[in-house]
Amino acid sequence: MGKFMDRLRSEVSTNRLVKLRHGVVVKRFKSKGPTETNVSVTIKDVEQGFVIDSDGYKNDVVLFLRKNKKDRV
């Protein structure tokens, strides 16, 4: 798989990857702002740590990990 990824990286320009990251929607949420508009969170937003809704309200993007259900006490 390493050779495949190396070939893929060499064939795809960095510019194209950046544009792709900006357009890939990870999840849709309701904004925590006063109007609660729908917000599409992209890979870029996750990397930045925030997303701004159409009204200009800045929402923080936070990821967390938790144990599997069978491992929780």
What one-character DSSP code corresponds to residue 32?
Answer: S
User: What integer pLDDT is reported at residue 4 of this predicted model?
Assistant: 67
Residue-wise pLDDT for 20-66, tens only, equals 677 788 889 999 989 889 999 988 898 899 999 999 999 999 888 88
37 half-sphere exposure, CB direction, 13 A CA radius: 13
Q: What integer is the mean pLDDT of 8-20?
A: 62
